[in-house]
Structure formats: C-alpha cells, structure tokens
C-alpha cells in the first residue's frame, strides 16, 4: 500500500505563464516539488488556477534541462565552465564594441524573467555596451497597446482591475480568447456574460467559447477591426450617445475626429467587415448606453498592420462615452506573458528606458547619465525586426537572447534563421535546447521561476513577489546573477543579484515604482503607480490623464498589404490562436503532463471549405503562403467562417511561422500574425 508523501514546506509565488498573474502555493519536500495549489486569499485568483498554473510545473527538473554553459566549436556544442564562457563572451563583446561600435550589439530580454532581471538586462546594454538596442517579446504582442494607449491617455497600461467586473454592466471583448489564453480571467468574464442583465459584446472572427455566451458577437473578417470600430463610433455619435461634458472637460481633438467619422462610407465598411451594420449598431449602442462599460482586448487587436490604430479606437470609445477614470469601466489589455507588462516598465524597449522615459529627451538623458555614471546613448535602438534586418545587412555582429524562442515564435522563420546565421555571435540563455538555441554560438543555462526570486507585474499593473521554491538545478544559474557576472567582467561593477537590492535601485529611477519595496509587497503585491509612502493605485486617469487631456485621433481603415498583394493567388485567410494546454513555443508545457492532453496541432476549417477540397476530419492539409508551406491535420468546425482558417504556434513540428509574413503594425512594428494569405489542398502529410 503506497503512503502519500507529506509536504515539509510551502512557498507562495506567482505563475510563470500568462499575464493574469495567479498566486500559487507550492508544496515541497527534500528540495523537490510535490504539488501546486492556489491560496484563497489571493486577490488575483481567489483559490483558482488553470491547467497550466496548477499542473504544468514538471518542466523544472526535466531531464532535458540545460545544465552547463556551452560554446559551439566546429559545429558542435561543447560543455565549458562558467569562468570559460564568461571570458569568451566578454572578450567577444569588447572586440565587437571596439571594432564595429556599440550598435553592432543587441539584446532581447524575456518576460519569463523578473522585473529586476529585465531592468539589469536593459542597464547592461545602455550603460555597459552604450546602445539602446534592447527589446523584448512585447514587440510581437502588445507593443501597439503600449503605443496606442500612450498616444491617447499618456500611459500604456490597463486602466482598471479585473475585480472591477463586480461593478460593470457591459464588457466588450475584442480580439481575445480569454478561455484559453487567460483562463482564470476568462472564467470570470464567462460568469459575467451568463448573468441575464449583463451585456457581453465579443468582436472576433472566431466563435470562441465566450462568444457563445455573448449578447452580441460580431464575427468580422480578420484584419478589419479599424473598419468595424469606426462604424461603432459613427453610430454612437449619430444616435446621440456621446458624453458631451466628459469630452469637453477631459479631451482634445474631438471636433476634427467627429468630422472624419461622419464622412465614413458605411456601405464600404460593412462590405469589408462582413458584419451586418444593424448588428454593429446594436452592439455600439449597448456599449454606449450601459451605465458602466469595460473593454478587454488581446492579440487579435494588436497583431495587425493597423494594431496601434485599433488600440487608439478602443481608447477613443471609452473617451467618447465617459467610460474611463472610475471603477467598473476602462480599457484593459489582456497581457499575454506573465511579465510582459513588467519588462516594458523596466525599459526593455529601444525608445524608452526604465520608467518609460524617452531616451531621446535631453533631461532624461542627463538623468540616466547621472544615475548610471556613464554616458547613455540618445539614439533610438533597433526593434526586434530591425535587429534581424541589421544582421542580414551585416551591421549586427552579436545578439544576446534570453528566454525567447524567436525561431519558432517570430514571423517568417526562414528569415529569422538567416539573420541568426548571419550574426557572428549568438548567445542564447535558456532552460532547454529550443529551436533558437540550436542556432546559438554560446548557451547559458538559466533558471526557471521556481528557482529564483524577484517580482512579476501582471496585466493589472500589480507588482507581486516571486519567491524561490527550490535550488536552481546543478549547472544553471539565476538569470539576474548571470547578467551581473557579465557586467562585472565587462568592467562595470555590480553587487550580487538580490530582489530587495534591485528593487531599491529601480525605485530611484522608475517614478511609478517610488514606493515599491520588497518588504511592502506582502501577499497580494502593489498596483503601480506606488507613492513614496507605499500607497498604490487601483484606477488610472481618475481626474486627469497622464498626458493631460485624452486625445482623439481618427484613422481610416486600410486593407493590409498581405491581402492587397497576395489574396488573388492565396484566397484563404489564416489566423493564429492559442490552446489552453500549452504556452507559446511549448518549451515548458510540452515537457509536462499537458502534452498527454494535447500533443498535436490542428487546422480549424469550415465544413463548406472542407467539402470543396474533399478534406475529412483528421486529414492532412497543406497550407501554403508566399513564404512557404506546412502540413496540419484538419479539424472541421463552424467556429470559423468559410474562407477563414486558424491554427496555433505551439508546435515546432508544424512551425507555422514558416508561412507567416513580414508585415508589421505601421507604428509599433508588431508582426501581423493574424492575417496570412494562404491556399490549401488535401495532402499526405510530411
């Protein structure tokens, strides 16, 4: 008879997966993790987790964990000591900096890492290398949110908290499938939608689970968000539901905005969206007439050529109807990765340093120079796609990538591979031999969230304590310590990595972290901005916007170049989605029991299209774009309309980014994963 092993210790920490930021209670014995549950007093998740947070932790001691630094010699990775790898890296970094200048080096930091580690990584590139060539995964997910909300409100973060659902009457969920991508918040949104008096508007090409419970589902053609939102704004104005006193007292630019909106061509916009104008009008009036309305948006908004403009329209809708600055309203981006908010807050962006301070501004530059004790550059650095272009042009000589599988998750895989192959020194700091790590010259084995301490910032601006549960596996090191070690060897002395020490430094340079101290975080963290006395902020923009007045800007719909150039030969539109069981490139979740639940990818295809191509459930479908082709098994479903296909990017065996393209958001350079022109045929598989 087996006897249950008893836990000898429990540690409270934060989930490493999505931006909900669930609190976890991790039970251990003899330095091994037994189980994960969720504390009931967690304000974020009240005792709940999803399948990923509770069960997908066994990757941490998986036999495939990288357990030694490695240098590639003659095409083979050789295990080396930490001393040797540090000497190798610093000698090469110094050489490239001296020979080709600081801008020949670049870094990609990670939302898997803590705030403190992200802060250190950007500090390394700005203060030690002297370049602003530092970027992170926000570039490929919510960079349009940050930019669009900054332009409209002055700051690019969620205005309210998920708890505000208790005080709202209407939710508008656009371009997001929270059931799979943000499951704990997704469950709350579903509960809200099921109450009879509540209004739930879902704007999404797919009939997602939430859409089934929605009072309004606008299933628009992928890529037409701007057209549909302009129609909504038109109806709110023409039906007399604008909040005139709010517009007069708190905003600017309305007159010109209204003039443009009143001139839109409703017939043309109705045709491009594929949504009946009466349905659009009904949803618009439901949002505008609700006493309180909240909006939530995801990557179906941002990963488009007009992503930033769409975010600005969502923000404008809130201005137009006065749904901002109090409880139960606001604009709430559903941040994808657990710490994507934090990595941007910490300055992992080429145009803004720690605290979103503009690197080109003279005052800011003076402040950074004094704080870091060196001259920090004022020129905006490369965004991730520009890093790859620079590598292909021979300008980028070295890149240090932490916890980001760019080969699998960035668009146009073949181009990314060519860029890495063209870079003289590729350093990859990782847990596993990912698709990107295979192209590295140097591997640095980092530590998982269970093996280190620091803070993560969730999608509600909530800075929460990540507490070390177990020792890093032998041979690996916490990522922050690796960065500190390299800074020291590069001649920029740093104390050892400690979360309290780092937070103390961050609070002196990031204005909205002024009152954040490790010992003040307690069980539920603090929502920034946090004043010197430790008072945090649940609701932004209550009396005035960060930029002073809220800003209206009209933007017209423009068809993406992907369809303008290729729709004739590639008549289907492929869009991408996520599945509950897996997380991004799958490096972590696919090394857990979740792999047994979902081990293969599939292509959602409408029954009409399947019939046209004689495709049956489970048949392989060759999906071909101008960039390449992949074979995926068919799942026949009316969740997608005829002409629309959808699949994930979790599986390197499929490598869907072989067929995604080079088109980016015109403003923030976020890739357009959501509209790919393709053609299909039944195939025999690989």
User: Are 298 and 177 contacting, i.e. CB atoms less than 8 angstroms apart?
Assistant: yes
Give the footprint of ligand SF4 on residues 184-213 (CB under 6 A).
184
The answer to whether the beta carbons of residues 348 and 136 sit under 8 Å apart is: yes
Residue number of the CB atom closest to ligand SF4: 53
Nearest to 676 by CA among 269, 205, 211: 205
Report how many residues bind ligand SF4 under the rule CB under 6 A.
Answer: 14
Please report, for residues 21, 156, 187, the alpha-carbon distance to residue 121 in angstroms, rounded to integers and kept in the order given.
22, 21, 35
Of 50 and 232, the one with the shorter C-beta distance to ligand SF4 is 50
Nearest distance in Å: CB 503, ligand SF4: 22
The nearest distance, CB 458 to ligand SF4, in angstroms, is: 8
Task: Find the shortest distance in angstroms from Cβ 525 to ligand SF4.
Answer: 13
Does 452 help bind ligand SF4 (rule: CB under 6 A)? no
Q: Report the residue from 27, 33, 50, 348 that binds ligand SF4 according to the rule CB under 6 A.
A: 50
Using CA atoms of 590, 335, 580, 309 in order, give the dihedral in degrees to the nearest 10. -110
Stretch that binds ligand SF4, among 10-18, 112-120, 243-251, 299-307 (CB under 6 A): 10-18
Tokens of 311: 């975010």
Q: Least separation, in Å, of the C-beta of 15 and ligand SF4? A: 3
Q: How far is the CB of 20 from ligand SF4 (least distance, A)?
A: 4
What is the closest distance, in whole angstroms, from the C-beta atom of residue 497 to ligand SF4 in the complex? 24
Contact between 15 and ligand SF4 per CB under 6 A: yes
Task: Please identify which residue in 102, 148, 156, 183 interacts with ligand SF4, judged by CB under 6 A.
Answer: 183
Q: Which of 13, 27, 53, 581 binds ligand SF4 (CB under 6 A)?
A: 53
Closest CA to 270 of 225, 228, 217, 218: 228
Specify the residue, 17 or 287, whose C-beta has the smaller distance to ligand SF4: 17
CA distance 608 to 611: 5
237 counts as binding ligand SF4 under rule CB under 6 A? no
How buried is residue 679: exposed, middle or buried, by Cβ count under 10 Å (0-12/13-18/19+)?
middle
Q: Would you count residue 530 as binding ligand SF4 (CB under 6 A)? A: no
Rounded to a whole number of angstroms, the minimum distance from the CB of residue 85 to ligand SF4 is 32
- The C-alpha atoms of residue 600 and residue 8 are separated, in whole angstroms, by 37
Q: How far is the CB of 338 from ligand SF4 (least distance, A)?
A: 6
Only one of the segments 67-75, 134-142, 178-186, 382-390 lies at the binding site for ligand SF4 (rule: CB under 6 A); that segment is 178-186
Query: Of 185, 168, 161, 166, whose CA–CA distance to 524 is shortest?
Result: 161
Question: What is the DSSP-derived secondary structure letter of residue 470?
Answer: S
Rounded Cα distance between 655 and 507, Å, is 41
The nearest distance, CB 449 to ligand SF4, in angstroms, is 11
What is the spatial distance between Cα 523 and Cα 44, in angstroms, rounded to a whole number?
11
Cβ of residue 18: shortest distance to ligand SF4, in angstroms? 3
Q: Contacting ligand SF4 (CB under 6 A), which of 12, 13, 17, 445? A: 17
Binder of ligand SF4 out of 52, 65, 97, 188 (CB under 6 A): 52
Taking CA atoms, 501 is separated from 233, 368, 497, 516, 518, in Å, by 48, 19, 7, 12, 9
Distance of alpha carbon 77 from alpha carbon 374, whole angstroms = 36
- The region that residue 240 occupies, defined by phi over 0 for left and psi between -120 and 50 for alpha, beta otherwise, is left
Cα separations in angstroms, 476 against 46, 250, 296, 319 = 33, 52, 38, 49
Q: HSE on the CB side for 513, CA within 13 Å? A: 27
Q: Do residues 44 and 188 touch, judged by C-beta distance below 8 A?
A: no
Reduced to 3 states, what is the DSSP secondary structure of residue 479? helix
Minimum CB distance to ligand SF4 smaller for 36 or for 232: 36
- Stated as kind and residue range, the H or E segment containing 84 is helix 82-100
Q: Cβ distance 677 to 573 under 8 Å?
A: yes
* Beta carbon nearer to ligand SF4, 243 or 405: 405
Which of residues 18 and 348 has its CB atom nearest to ligand SF4 in the complex?
A: 18
Compare residues 246 and 296 and give the one whose CB is closer to ligand SF4. Answer: 296
Tokens 């020979």 identify what position?
99
49 binds ligand SF4 (CB under 6 A): yes
174 forms part of the interface with ligand SF4 (CB under 6 A): no
Q: Is 22 a residue that touches ligand SF4 (CB under 6 A)?
A: yes
Among 18-26, 447-455, 470-478, 641-649, which window interacts with ligand SF4 (CB under 6 A)? 18-26
- Contact status: 484 vs ligand SF4 (CB under 6 A): no
What does the DSSP 8-state code read for residue 591? G
Q: Taking CB under 6 A as the rule, does residue 18 contact ligand SF4? A: yes
| Candidate segments 19-27, 198-206, 226-234, 386-394, binder of ligand SF4 by CB under 6 A | 19-27
CA distance 299 to 163: 22
Q: Closest by alpha carbon to 133, among 389, 478, 495?
A: 389
Q: Which stretch binds ligand SF4 (CB under 6 A): 17-25, 97-105, 240-248, 558-566?
A: 17-25
- Least separation in angstroms between CB 323 and ligand SF4: 26
Give the shortest CB-186-to-ligand SF4 separation in angstroms: 8
Pairing of the two strands 199-203 and 70-73: unpaired
Report, in Å, the least distance between residue 461 CB and ligand SF4.
15
Is residue 21 near ligand SF4 by the rule CB under 6 A?
Answer: yes
Asked if 427 interacts with ligand SF4 (CB under 6 A), we say: no
Q: Is residue 588 a contact residue for ligand SF4 (CB under 6 A)? A: no
Which of 38, 110, 42 has the alpha carbon at shortest distance from 452? 110
Residues lying near ligand SF4 in the complex (CB under 6 A):
15, 17-18, 20-22, 45, 49-50, 52-53, 182-184
């Amino acid at each position: 008879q087996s006897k249950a092993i008893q836990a000898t210790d429990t540690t409270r920490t934060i989930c490493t997966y999505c931006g909900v930021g669930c609190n976890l209670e991790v039970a251990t014995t003899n330095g091994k993790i037994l189980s994960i549950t969720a504390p009931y007093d967690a304000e974020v998740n009240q005792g709940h987790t999803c399948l990923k947070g509770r069960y997908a932790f066994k990757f941490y001691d998986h036999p495939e964990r990288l357990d030694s630094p490695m240098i590639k010699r003659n095409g083979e990775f050789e295990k080396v000591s930490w001393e040797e790898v540090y000497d190798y890296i610093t000698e090469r970094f110094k050489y490239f900096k001296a020979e080709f200048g600081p801008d020949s080096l670049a870094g990609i930091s990670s939302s898997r890492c803590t705030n403190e580690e992200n802060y250190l990584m950007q500090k390394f590139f700005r203060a030690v290398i002297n370049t602003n060539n530092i970027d992170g995964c926000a570039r490929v997910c919510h960079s349009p949110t940050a930019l669009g909300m900054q332009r409209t409100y002055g700051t690019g973060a969620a205005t309210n908290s998920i708890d505000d659902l208790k005080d709202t009457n209407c939710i508008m969920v656009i371009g997001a499938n929270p059931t799979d991508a943000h499951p704990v918040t997704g469950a709350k949104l579903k509960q809200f939608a099921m109450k009879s008096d509540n209004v739930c508007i879902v704007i999404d090409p797919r009939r997602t689970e939430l859409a089934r419970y929605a009072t309004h589902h606008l299933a628009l053609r992928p890529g037409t968000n701007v057209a549909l939102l302009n129609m909504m704004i038109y109806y709110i104005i023409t039906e007399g539901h604008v909040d005139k006193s709010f517009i007069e007292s708190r905003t600017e630019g309305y007159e010109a905005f209204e003039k443009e909106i009143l001139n839109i061509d409703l017939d043309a916009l109705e045709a491009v969206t594929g949504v009946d104008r009466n349905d659009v009008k009904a949803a618009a009036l439901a949002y505008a007439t609700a006493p309180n309305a909240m909006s939530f948006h995801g990557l179906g908004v941002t990963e488009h050529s007009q992503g930033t403009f769409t975010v600005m329209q969502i923000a404008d809708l809130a201005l137009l109807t006065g749904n901002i600055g109090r409880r139960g309203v606001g604009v709430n981006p559903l941040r994808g990765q657990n710490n994507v908010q934090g990595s941007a807050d910490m300055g992992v962006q080429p145009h803004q340093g720690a605290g979103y301070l503009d690197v080109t501004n003279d005052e800011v530059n003076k402040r950074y120079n004094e704080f870091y004790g060196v001259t920090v550059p004022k020129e905006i650095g490369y965004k991730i796609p520009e890093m790859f272009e620079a590598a292909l042009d021979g300008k980028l000589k070295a890149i240090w990538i932490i916890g980001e599988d760019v080969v699998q998750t960035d668009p146009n895989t073949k181009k990314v591979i060519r860029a890495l192959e063209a870079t003289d020194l590729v350093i990859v700091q990782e847990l596993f031999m990912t698709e990107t790590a295979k192209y590295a010259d140097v591997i640095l084995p980092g530590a998982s969230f269970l093996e280190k301490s620091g803070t993560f910032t969730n999608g509600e601006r909530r800075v929460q304590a990540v507490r070390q549960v177990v020792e890093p596996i032998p041979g690996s090191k916490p990522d922050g310590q690796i960065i500190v070690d390299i800074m020291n060897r590069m001649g920029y002395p740093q104390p050892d990595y400690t979360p309290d020490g780092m937070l103390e430094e961050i609070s002196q340079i990031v204005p909205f972290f002024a009152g954040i101290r490790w010992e003040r975080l307690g069980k539920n963290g603090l929502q920034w901005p946090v004043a010197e006395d430790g008072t945090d902020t649940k609701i932004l923009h209550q009396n005035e916007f960060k930029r002073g007045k809220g800003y209206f800007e009209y933007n017209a719909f423009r068809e993406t170049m992907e369809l303008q150039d290729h729709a004739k030969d590639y008549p289907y539109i492929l869009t991408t989605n996520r599945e509950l069981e897996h997380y991004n490139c799958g490096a972590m979740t696919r090394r857990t029991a979740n792999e047994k639940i979902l081990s293969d990818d599939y292509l959602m295809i409408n029954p009409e299209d399947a019939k046209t191509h004689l495709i049956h459930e489970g048949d392989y479908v060759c999906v071909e774009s101008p960039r390449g082709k992949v074979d995926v098994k068919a799942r026949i479903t009316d969740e997608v309309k005829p002409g629309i296909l959808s699949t994930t990017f979790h599986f390197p065996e499929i490598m869907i980014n072989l067929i995604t393209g080079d088109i980016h958001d015109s403003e923030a350079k976020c890739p357009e994963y959501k509209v790919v022109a393709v053609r299909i045929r039944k195939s025999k598989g690989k």
